[in-house]
Structure 1
Amino acid sequence: MSVSESKSQISLGFLTVVDGGDTGCIGGYLVLNMGGRPLEFHCTAPVRANRAQQILYGQSLTPFIYGELIARALIDKAALKPSVVFADQQETLAVQGLTQLPVALLKTGVESPERQALLGFEVEGFSIGVARQFEAQVETLSRYMRRFVETIDLDEPFSRIREAVEEAQRGARAA
């Protein structure tokens, strides 16, 4: 498959952050085709706030690290631009406004996404929250999700990312 063909196909992004405590937070970003096959993967080096940042940012520190630093770097670095990026952590949504891509909070079951400026809807047992600026794309996102759910559990890519990040950490420690 040529690069131009892979760029034109529908793809979905999945982004999560693994908090390693004292070692810092590591973000992982996986872009899949509609068959659930990986097209691209990136992870960050550990990001850790210093004491001054902890004091100055206060409660806004986690959204800053997860969204503005980690998620933005991963999305910007990726060659492929998926139709939507799914995140499984509310704090990651701080990247909205810093990227042109719709970023949706994906939650399993009936728990609804926190409604801080989010438009919530449900598809195939998943609760989704998107920024209101992407309201016009809700129907398209729902259609992609219904197609994707036919081939893979939407929670599963987040597990793949976490396992890949853990494997990368083990490899780094062994080196």
Structure 2
Amino acid sequence: MAAAKLTIGYVLALPVAESVFMGGAMVTDAYGLPLEFRYTEPVRATKLQRVLYGDVLEKYIQADVIAGNLVSRLEQKPELILVFDANLLSSMDGSKQKIAWISPGRGTPLKEYGALQDGPDGEFSLQLTESGAPMRIRYQVTGAVASDVTRKSEIARILTDCGRTMDLLEPQTRVETAVKMLWEEAPETPTAG
């Protein structure tokens, strides 16, 4: 598939106030131009929920209530969905769509653009610039070796193709800024999640 036809989704969920969370999702083309944007209304955790869910409440709201909902509502089905919080990987259904966590790496550059270096299960480094540290990529491992190898190579191919025409990290900043702006412009009373 030519890079120009590839689409990438960016999904995030973040706290916007004490016990209040919002999320956003944007699908871009291979140049980073937005094709679709969705966001959630604010979700406020109630006192009872904070007691019952304890330490897992934030992860549950961000991953299951917000991120999962956003992905299911996308009309554009991107070839790859990128998240910037590794906690979102475990609860999003990676069997239906390719989902990966991406983060700047700190290692020495790999020998060439597109070079891949295996890491622990479900993680690898990918050189997406001509110089500088490779990106760290993590994906949901299914346990089926052939399927996981295929998934890793497909994720690496999409990122390598799109990395030639766009900064793969930059759209996440736009989504985060848009969600914060939506919260600041209309901080209505959030509903219970």
TM-score normalised according to structure 2 size:
0.75
Q: For residue 132 of structure 1, what is the amino acid of its counterpart?
A: V
> CA-to-partner distance for each residue in 1:121-157, whole Å, 9 max, x for gaps?
1112111111112622111110111111112222111
Quote how far apart the aligned CAs of 1:173 are: 4.8
Shift of 1:172: 1.8
Q: Which runs of 4+ in 1 moved over 4 A?
A: none
- In the TM superposition, residue 80 of structure 1 has moved relative to its aligned partner by 1.0
- Equivalent residue, structure 2, for 1:27: 23
Q: Which runs of 5+ in 2 are unaligned?
A: 108-119, 128-133, 189-193
Q: In structure 1, how many angstroms separate the alpha carbons of the residues matched to 2:70 and 2:162? A: 22
- Report Cα offsets for 1:29-64 as digits up to 9, x if no partner: 010111111110011111121122112212221221
Alignment root-mean-square deviation, CA: 2.1
The structure whose residues are more often helix, as a share, is: 1
User: Quick one: which amino acid aligns to residue 140 of structure 2?
Assistant: A
Q: Closer, same or farther in 2 for the Cα pair 1:99/1:172, shift >3 Å?
A: farther
- Select between 75-84 and 93-102 the one with higher mean Cα deviation: 93-102
Cα offset, 1:95, TM superposition: 2.9
Greater C-alpha Rg: 2
Identity score, percent: 25
Instruction: Identify the match of residue 165 of structure 2 among 144, 148, 151.
Output: 151
Q: How does 1:63-102 map to 2 (within 5 A)?
A: 63-97=59-93, 100-102=96-98
Is residue 54 from structure 1 mapped to residue 50 from structure 2 by the alignment? yes
Residue 116 (structure 2) aligns with: none
The whole-number CA distance in structure 2 between the counterparts of 1:99 and 1:60 is 23
Q: Corresponding residue for 2:137?
A: 128
Unmatched 5+ stretches in structure 1: 1-8
Higher RCO structure, 1 or 2 (CA under 8 Å, sep 6+): 2
